[in-house]
Structure 1
Amino acid sequence: MFSWRAEVRPGVWVAFTDAAAGNLALHVGDDPADVGRRRRDLEVALGLGSRRFQYMNQVHGNDVAGIGAGTDPVTADPVTAEGPTADAMVSLGEPLAVMVADCVPIVLVGDRAGGERPVLAVVHAGRPGVASGVVPAAVARMRGLGASALSAWIGPSVCGNCYEVPADMRDDVAARVPAARCTTSRGTPGLDLPAAVRSQLRDAGVAVEYSGHCTLEDTNLFSYRRDPNTGRFAGLVWTDAGTGQP
């Protein structure tokens, strides 16, 4: 069910699902009732009780949505609706989810003074999002909520050896994020989005604690480049009940 899972702070958890957890996206032609059941099964397995993961309608932009008290309230039901239209979300302890099938899923956690609830964030960083700065936008939003000592976990995504693009596309993205420039294993122009994300996080002063493997190479993960009709796996962040103070 998980490609990686760990308690990353006392009472704070990060996980990335795999294909065994099933498709978690509502926008790929799957039965919404089946998607809702899989999402709820995941929440039960992780001990969320009555809490739900908040999903978002991802559009390859750089908007950051605030979820729950202390941010920008969002009332969308994560089981029956896509949630806010954004490519990053932040919360003060509310469970969050990001869906991908080759793009880079990023989970971030930041501490707050006085033992208050941690600042959590998830980011969907595809090629347009990397180029337009969705990662630094999310980091800035977290710091605006009082986050310090930020750490990031980068989930599985297509690697630079596999992500072939036209030369002009590579040049356009690399002009904004130089670390994205690469050559694939076939000797063709490529983009290394995980390396680009790591460079953006480093420049923002965020420690990278984990970086996942390649979705195209690992058949236990969904990959849009392998199969355009594929599902989506999720990056997740949540807290134990009662972690932190309101």
Structure 2
Amino acid sequence: MSARILIVEDEPRIADFLVRGLTEEGYQVEHAADGRAGGIALASGVWDLVLLDWWLPVEDGISLLRRFRQQNRTTPVLFLSARDAIAQRVEGLDAGADDYLTKPFAFEELLARVRALLRRPSQATPLELEYAGVKVDLAAQKAYREGQLLDLTGKEFQLLTLLLRHPGTILSRTRIFDAVWGEQYDGLSNTLEVHVKELRRKLETQGPRIIHTHRGRGYALDAQHADHSAGEE
């Protein structure tokens, strides 16, 4: 099976050049045209390699990369940028990039770097995540509990995936909002609470409560402990 490559690039000419060139080389290629689309693809997809532009609309590449690494994702990332100062290269690598290529670049050099990154020992994200009877199939974008398919929205799927990556860990509202919505939590919006409530409802059709509220701290996926919400929805 050929490697899956995600390209996050907003410049249409460059994106088309990369998509066509890498597809012709036999890779499976998908493209996200801005920071929001890139964040969604990074959070919910299974990739062997990511080509990531620095300057993007909505959210820049550095922010996307840092959040991606905070989620313990080890997929190789090749930064593409017109910024060629040493300090900027260092910033990109320190943020979690595995390699850095300055625009404009020769396609032959890009291919060589792609091959080198794909040859590294695999630490690929698993295709499935499972905990206490709850499973998500990242490749198929489907979720199950006790073998029963759950009808989840895109955000509910991303939320469940995030919780499954950290079972038993209390995730703050700020961290969840940043990872799932790509936005800073303002402390006022009830968007997260609404999505948690609906995700719980769908999960609990097949079993007991597994997403628990820790008042003032956040949420945790935990099959072992009682809810700490004190009646909170």
- Asked if TM exceeds 0.5, the reply is no
Higher RCO (C-alpha under 8 Å, 6+ residues apart): 1
Higher-Rg structure is: 2
Interval containing the TM-score (normalised by the shorter chain): under 0.3
Structure with greater proportional strand content: 1
